[in-house]
Chains A and B, each alone.
Chain A
Amino acid sequence: MSAVVEHVACTFCGCVCDDIVVECEGSEIIKARRACAVGRGVLTGRDSVVRRPTVRGREVEWQEAVGEAASILEQADSPLIYGLSSTSIEAQRRAVELADWLGAVIDTTSSVCHGPTGLAMQAVGEATCTLGEVRDRADLIVFWGCNPADSHPRHFGRFSLSPKGALTPNGRKDRTVVVVDVRPTRTSKAADRFFQVNVGTDYEVLSVLRSLVKGRDVQVDTVGGVSVSELRDLADRMKESRYGVAFMGMGLTMSRGRHLNVGELFSLVAELNEYTRFSVIPMRGHGNVAGADQVLTWQSGYPFAVSFARGYPQFGPGEFSAVDMLSRREVDAALVVASDPAAHFPHAAAEHLGRIPTIVLDPAPSVTASCARVVFPTAYYGIDAPGTAYRMDNVPIPLQGIFASGRPTDEQILDQIIEAVK
């Protein structure tokens, strides 16, 4: 089959660009027009072969693998379901359901990404907007602790740096771009103004900025390696903007202070709304981690680190989050869906996955799969199977099933496991 398919959505990063045009030959995508280099790699480089599931490395029939997986999970005292950021809403819904029936702990990649952002939002709120508002209205953009030039390659072109919008007809010229980071990056090179702050001082810098916005007297000359007079200038620009938008990332969530750093930024943005309009958008990493937050929240009330062990949902960042439970060896079976914790977790947590029976649902052979007891090579969402993914600004994007592949979807496998355990 040779075909051209339009308005395809790429699910690699939180931009979920849905204007991709793919050219297909047989069951391969050979071209992905408009996709960035990473998206192109994902779309053209996928493994299209229909593979059998394996149990202890041996290929088996789907039924047997489902039975083995169900048996592992039923017998476990403390099962963990983890991941979910690179699969569709449909699969995420089943995963939470399964956790409920099992009395399992369920956590998503948020806990090692924008979990702290969720904690800040719970503490102080969040003034946000959709990406179209950024393109059309924002005349001041602040990138704080994030590097979209590398992590979200089309962000600049589609939303935040150069595109022409209703109130930004001159594109780049109608925007002032400020970057705050601990080191120069490709993103800071694109900025009008770059503030290089000392590692681990974002909280103090943000705190001072809040004071300056409120016209308070600040009694230091520098903070975090930045001059207060320059920060005063930034505070003024923020207050005088027509519509400002801050994007934030791992620089805040992963540094000392974590959710407290994010809370300072969110409070700053809220306070700026006394003077003008200002919004903040977290740079969600994976294509559907925003969706995972949404689904887990609507079914359990909480966005990550949820335990159903007592028969009802309990929220416990630090207690039920995956890194903590694994490193304390409080998990005796794991179901990993659409994520690769063995590749990205600190070693002392990742290695526990090798000690316990682990089940993996993933379209590609992940590091986690390489030491898993049961592996289901499932469909690539948005390529082999339809679904929905939520963009970083929580706009839901429908995904096409371009190919009718022979691979089952994550949701189909999860449905079967649910049936087997109930």
Chain B
Amino acid sequence: MLGVLGGRVYDPQNGIAGEVRDIWVKDGRVVSPEEVDQEQAEIIDASGLVVMPGGVDIHSHIVGAKVNAGRKFRPEDHRGNERERTETLRSGVGGTVPTTHLTGYLYAEMGYTTVMEAATAPLVARHTHEELADVPILDSGAFITLGNNHFLMKCIRDGRQETARDYVAWLLGATKGYAIKIVNPGGVENWKWHSNVSELDDEVIGFGVTPRQILEMLAWINEELGLPHVPHIHGINLGRSSSARTTIEAMATLDGRRAHFCHLQFLSYGEGKGSLQASEAAAVAEAVNSHPSMTVDVGQLVFGSATTMTSDGPLQHNMHQMTRNKWLNDDVESETGGGVVPALYKRTNPINSVMWLTGMELFLLIDDPWRVFLTTDHPNAGCFTYYPQVIRLLMDRGYRRQVFESIHARARKGALLPELDREYSLHEIAIISRAGPARALGLKNKGHLGIGADADITVYEDVGNKEQMFAKPRYVIKAGVLVARDGTVVEERPGRTLYVAPPYDDESEKNIREYFNQAYTISFDNYSIGADSLRHAERIGCG
């Protein structure tokens, strides 16, 4: 039992913005004061301190086949970023692709307690879960990539929606995934033919379906199944100057439907002058503002080292061609693909400067903080350990101005950012880093501190420099246990893996098995993952 007393609580979900409140915890949950024997409870004196729910990261690449391949091929990124073991804590290496234990520690030390793994190919989902078993503290769930799935595309081609719906339901349960992820729909399949897509109505080779149809089908299925999260979309044309246009088109296509557009910064460019792309954040933000059923996360660029890793095979090859950096690619049979390329973002690079501007502008031009979330698409646009820096940029326009002045002159010329005065309040930061993502994820017990919530609580010292404030919380509590103090992990606890298993017509499994035996090179019976293979599995309901 625990009491976090006298702090200034920011719990946007429950309408609390800085009032002094006591939070009582029992058996890992927030409870009403009557339920706790206050004499026996451990007391944390939070007077003068800021109290928020534990951070919720809606999109990060932390575990699984692609992440580990990125880890393996970047020994140079690990050196100099080592952490020693202690009596009770494991050693590890950091950099942009930290090892599993260190990932848990670093996020916890920043006050984050829930981190969703952004992309997992179904065929290797077992790897994601096994690797997650070595990530301490954090609760997590895996987004399952479906945007280039052969069975699904065949269903679209043949007009068999119910079959597609049953397949997705089966697949999510089989892979113990949390949500539908869509990455460059159709483009990753086309990459297997050395091609891509560039318009929503381009044809996917060999299937005769379009990216638009894939988006529509998966949005329909998501709704039919009543999944807690919405289709999580990495759109077409990432990184290209046509991206803003096709992003806005994709939003229009899904008008009225619930959807989440991830790392939007990478998909908000337009034609600029000469070879330099321009930020079209204004137009994209306007589109976001006009589609109240949609949420986004920014994927803010941070200058410094990064490792780009996505399921977007053709994009990653383009990154390789552009940067001449070493390149990993992996085509996954019948399902998806992906790649990894190291990156270094510099202020002296005009394109990187425009990318930085684009993210900032999105944050400042999207009106509703409940619909725009803090991410760096870790590790694509920057390492998650830089979230405090991004928070400072949002809260302190003087600092933002300072950084703006340091970026490339060509990017600064005619930029919108200097006119954007807005500063995020603590309340709004609590929304974009906790309450908003939890709500968008459909995690009813996360991102808030009402009765029944998971006791994931972060206590900060309110210092002037917001980067320092958010980098080193005074206390971090996960499931009612103090796991970090003064920015250092003090205790390790295993986290939980959240998954969904929506019902489906049992008859459909026969069809799926038949297809599977032809399409794959492993046995159908060896594909599904049992809940007991997961660390502390928790099923989240649908419908």
Contact = CB atoms under 8 A, between A and B. Distances in A.
Are A and B in direct contact (Cβ within 8 Å)?
A: yes
B317 interface: yes
Interface in B88-147: 90-93, 99-101, 123-124, 126-127, 130-131, 133-134
Contact of B75 (A19, A130, A302): A302
B326 A390 contact: no
A351 interface: no
Interface string A255-283: 00000000000000010011111010000
Contacts of B419: none
A133 B520 contact: no
A135 interface: yes
B368 to A, nearest CB: 38
Contacts of B333: 129-133, 135-136
Contacts, number: 171
A36 to B, nearest CB: 16
Contacts of B131: 294, 298
Contacts of A101: 85
A19 B522 CA distance: 7
Interface in B319-344: 320-321, 326-334, 340-341
A118 B72 contact: yes
B68 A298 contact: yes
A9 B526 contact: yes
A298 B524 CA distance: 27
A6 B525 contact: yes
A396 interface: yes
B330 A129 contact: yes
B448 interface: no
Given A297-B68, A398-B126, A312 B93 contact: yes
A97 B91 CA distance: 9
A273 B313 CA distance: 12
Contact of A132 (B78, B126, B520, B523): B520
Contacts of A128: 328-331
A137 interface: yes
Given A9-B526, A130-B521, A270-B320, A121 B65 contact: no
Contacts of A118: 72
A132 B518 CA distance: 10
Interface string B402-413: 000000000000
Given A299-B90, A299-B100, A395-B124, A277 B192 contact: yes
B100 A132 contact: no
Nearest to B89: A100
A381 to B, nearest CB: 14
B491 interface: no
A125 interface: yes
B525 A7 contact: yes
B194 interface: yes
Given A18-B526, A125-B326, A131-B333, A301 B521 contact: no
Nearest to A293: B72
B523 A19 contact: yes
Interface in A129-165: 129-133, 135-137, 158-159
Contact of B92 (A89, A312, A314): A312
A386 B334 CA distance: 27
Interface in B500-540: 519-526, 529, 533
B193 A277 contact: yes
A259 to B, nearest CB: 13
B99 A300 contact: yes
Interface string B56-87: 00000001010011011111001000111100
A396 B130 contact: yes
B327 to A, nearest CB: 4
Nearest to B87: A422
Given A100-B90, A125-B328, A294-B68, A302 B78 contact: yes
A339 interface: no
Contact of A313 (B65, B82, B124): B82
A394 B127 CA distance: 9
Contacts of A315: 75, 78
B332 A130 contact: yes
B174 to A, nearest CB: 12
Contact of B73 (A89, A100, A126): A126
A300 B92 contact: yes
A303 interface: yes
A388 interface: yes
A311 interface: yes
B522 A158 contact: no
A9 B525 CA distance: 11
B525 A127 contact: no
Contact of A311 (B68, B91, B133, B523): B91
Interface in A66-93: 89, 93
A121 B134 contact: no
A137 to B, nearest CB: 7
Given A122-B72, A312-B82, A132 B519 contact: yes
A243 interface: yes
Interface in A234-253: 242-243
Contacts of B328: 121, 125-128
Contacts of B521: 130-132, 135, 158-159, 395
Contact of B130 (A89, A137, A275, A310): A89
Contacts of A274: 321
B72 A394 contact: no
Given A130-B333, A166-B519, A313 B91 contact: yes
Given A122-B75, A270-B320, A299-B99, A7 B523 contact: yes
Interface string A376-404: 00000000000010110011111000000
Interface string B181-194: 00000000001111
B522 A395 contact: yes
A223 to B, nearest CB: 26
B276 to A, nearest CB: 25
Output the residue of A19, A166, A299 with the most chain B CB within 10 A.
Answer: A299
A298 B100 contact: yes
Contacts of B524: 7
B326 A124 contact: yes
A390 B73 contact: no
B334 to A, nearest CB: 6
A421 interface: no
Contact of B331 (A9, A100, A133): A133
B297 to A, nearest CB: 25
A301 B78 contact: yes
The 3 closest A-B pairs by CB, nearest first: A132-B333, A125-B326, A129-B331
14 contacts: A93-B134, A118-B72, A126-B328, A128-B329, A129-B329, A129-B332, A131-B521, A277-B191, A277-B193, A299-B101, A301-B75, A313-B78, A313-B92, A313-B93
Given A128-B329, A133-B333, 6 more contacts: A18-B526, A118-B72, A122-B73, A130-B521, A131-B521, A301-B75
Interface of A: 6-7, 9, 18-19, 89, 93, 97, 100-101, 118, 121-133, 135-137, 158-159, 166, 242-243, 270, 273-277, 279, 293-294, 297-303, 308, 310-315, 388, 390-391, 394-398
